[in-house]
Structure 1
């Protein structure tokens, strides 16, 4: 069996005020650096064998802190863990997005809607689960950390629990949280959801 620790990146200074998406140059703030350090201390107890992270700066910084605590020297950059491609929405404030009817459709009909770049939650769920299945086939009995983004982790959880993607607002994936999935014999189950490290 392969144990996956799906970690949402720690907080940047303006989390909650704008849609970061795939915008460049968004790094962890002071609070986020402290969160990432605590994540490392928590995950050091799990005998982590490898860390994979989205290419975004905030995930790379979070992964580096975990790697340092776990005695690992490398973090694998994985495109499959990247943030949803929000296209022209990336970098906009939520007040700006609130005026866009397509934004409202995205948030009310996630099972059907597409971002301006054309990505759906189904696309996101498919890419992260395919990545996890490939890792599980190669790394049986490993404990692996995947550092990603809230909606990517939510897409994985919805797929594993066989929930509609419209269920996304019914559970939280907080900054610097850990959601644990266990993969065995081509199947996966949810072990923990949104563990907050004090």
Structure 2
């Protein structure tokens, strides 16, 4: 029931400087970030997309634009902005350096027990995960209904948002999501079926994405015992 390609935005100056940008306006891709995002678009060549969805923040909208440039496919659908895929509201933590934040008591909670973390003046990690996962699950159902069970779509979002969606797909408690790594402009892929989600790749930064997709046009819901035959290519 659809394959979701989760793309983290490309690098920003805040990323390079170790600043937690959060929802601070005006945080855009740097030159490296633009090239990362265009390269991710080239990796998506040959994959027909049913939808492209993005966080409303500038760095994600720019990444979505760069993906389209890299793909060079005039038939690509217009980008849909989804507020539910926006960055975590880090509240008073926004704009501060990660080095400084690492000295806060809350930092240890965020690392070891994120389900208990609420950012001062912002939202909790639980609320973030709930809104992001609910939005992804609802949209993948709509895309499957409108485009068929083999539809592929892209969501451009932020590191913690993508990690929360992947943790849900992997059946992990939110307290385990810090075990996942999602680099700028990386691609992670999840196939959703009525039985369960299947994580096809995580934090992928090289190689054609079509090579990671299932070989069969409409694979079954059961896991392939022994590992299966892999992709068609």
**Is TM more than 0.5 here?**
yes
- Residues in 1 aligned to 2:122 and 2:92: alpha-carbon distance in whole angstroms: 11
Equivalent of residue 178 in structure 2, options 163, 166, 169: 169
How far is 1:176 from its partner?
Answer: 0.6
Structure 2 vs 1, CA of residues 186 and 147 (structure 1 numbering), >3 Å: closer, same or farther? farther
Query: Residue 152 of structure 1 corresponds to which residue in structure 2?
Result: 161
**Corresponding residue number in structure 2 for 1:50:** 51
Gap change, CA 1:137 and 1:168, over 3 Å in 2? closer
Using structure 2 for the length normalisation, give the TM-score. Answer: 0.79
Rounded Cα–Cα distance in structure 1 between residues aligned with 2:141 and 2:174: 26
Shift of 1:132: 1.8
Counterpart Cα distance in 2 of 1:133 and 1:171? 20
Separation in 1, partners of 2:136, 2:178: 23
Distance 2:177 2:135 in 1: 21
Conservation of the 8 A alpha-carbon contact between 1:110 and 1:166: yes
User: Which residue of 1 is the match for residue 6 of structure 2?
Assistant: 6
Using the TM superposition, give the Cα deviation of residue 22 of structure 1 relative to its aligned residue in structure 2, in angstroms: 0.6
Deviates more, 1:48-57 or 1:135-144: 135-144
- Aligned residues of 1:161 and 1:189 also touching (Cα < 8 A): yes
Greater strand content: 1
Q: Counterpart of 2:188?
A: 179
| Maintained 8 Å contact 2:6/2:156 | yes
Alignment check: 8 A CA contact 1:12 1:29 kept: yes
2:138 corresponds in structure 1 to 134
Which deviates the most, 109-118 or 175-184? 109-118
How many Å apart are 1:181 and its aligned residue? 0.8
Quick one: distance in 1 between partners of 2:66 and 2:32?
13
2:27 aligns with 26
Aligned residue for 1:112? 116
Determine whether 1:95 maps to 2:99. yes
Deviations 1:71-114 (A, max 9, x none): 32621111111111101111101122133222332222202111
8 A contact 2:6–2:187 mirrored in 1: yes
Unaligned runs of 5+ in 1: none
Shift of 1:193: 0.6
> Would you identify which runs of 4 or more consecutive aligned residues in structure 1 move more than 4 Å?
none
For the Cα contact (< 8 Å) 1:121–1:155, is it kept in 2?
A: no
Return the TM-score normalized by structure 1. 0.92
Structure 2 gap segments, 5+ residues each: 208-233
Distance across 2 between alignment mates of 1:33 and 1:197: 16
Greater C-alpha Rg? 2
The CA deviation at 1:186 is 6.8
